[in-house]
Amino acid sequence: MVKPTVKAVLLSPQRELGAKPLLVVGSSLGTSTVLWTETAALLGDEYDVIGWDLPGHGISPTTTEGFDVAELADAVVDLVDSVSPGVNFHYAGVSLGGATGLQLGINHGNRLRSLSVQCTGAKLGTPEGWLERAATVRKLGTPVMIQGSAERWFAPGFMDRQPEISSRLLHALRDADRFGYSFCCEALASFDVRGQLGSITVPTLAISGVEDSVAPPSFAEAVAAGITAGGGTAQAVALDGVAHLAPAEAPAAVAELMRTFMKENGL
């Protein structure tokens, strides 16, 4: 396995980096930094917000070799160091981006000021399910996932209420590279850090959506319980009317939860 390369988009106003605390945000499988557009806009006056894309998604190059979630976490640290060497940062991520956050907490906790993991868990799905999806997308391309993803990603009625946001996210899925997407599926197939949560010492906020069938609130509760059992500080919050993409579905609620948490816990 080779550590992938990930690239970032500045989501806060243009200014010299370093004057504000750094917030790094990660997106879910099949989306891009557009997932964070609304939430980042609400936080951008107080934080320098940069979003990174998964391999083969958004502006990140695809890869010809597999990787695991730990290598994604290493790639995020490399990215931060290319922007602002050695700086400690707040991190927030959704689904696979959130799994990467847990891995950052385990392997690079000394670099984090706070951690927000959203719509994710210490293990997601089954290895068989992810490997089957990887094979399907590798053969047929990402458009084959659009209908199922639309059903999983959004709470009932969201696509009707917010056609522009939902369309933007589904276009990101359509445009994702089939091989990058498939390698991400394979990374999720091998991801299971349930036994390592107790080693996370950075303050952690686990946000879930009540309507999320992929990572229901019980997953966030289990993450918080695993961290606190090891002596860490963590809390779980469930949002009504939200499914799997909390920052896009409820940007005001997510931004307020994150702002409060980062101010209370960001060292």
pLDDT at 101 over 60: yes
Question: What is the pLDDT, as a whole number, of residue 134?
Answer: 98
The SS3 of residue 171 is: helix
The domains located in the chain, with CATH, are: 8-265 (3.40.50.1820)
At 5-39, the pLDDT tens digits run 999 999 999 988 888 999 999 999 999 999 999 99
Phi, psi of 178 (to 5 degrees): -60, -35
Q: What gap in Å lies between CA 45 and CA 218, rounded to an integer?
A: 33
As a whole number, mean pLDDT of residues 199-225 equals 98
Question: What is the pLDDT, as a whole number, of residue 128?
Answer: 98
pLDDT at 233 over 60: yes
Which one-letter DSSP state was computed for residue 13? P
Question: What is the pLDDT, as a whole number, of residue 54?
Answer: 98
pTM of the shown model: 0.97
Q: What's the mean per-residue pLDDT of the chain?
A: 96
For a pLDDT cut of 70, what percent of the chain falls above it? 99
At 156-196, the pLDDT tens digits run 999 999 999 999 999 999 999 999 999 999 999 999 999 99
Residue 266 — pLDDT band, cuts 50, 70, 90?
Answer: low
Following DSSP, what letter does each residue of 84-121 receive, concatenated?
Answer: STT--EEEEEETHHHHHHHHHHHH-GGGEEEEEEES--
At 48-83, the pLDDT tens digits run 999 999 999 999 999 999 999 999 999 999 999 999
Q: Which residue has the higher pLDDT, 1 or 163?
A: 163
pLDDT at 229 over 80: yes
Contacts of 138 (CB under 8 A, 6+ apart): 178, 179, 182
Q: Report yes or no: 144 and 174 within 8 Å, Cβ to Cβ.
A: no
pLDDT at 1 over 70: no
| Dihedral sign computed on CA atoms, order 215, 121, 5, 135 | negative
Question: What is the pLDDT, as a whole number, of residue 192?
Answer: 98
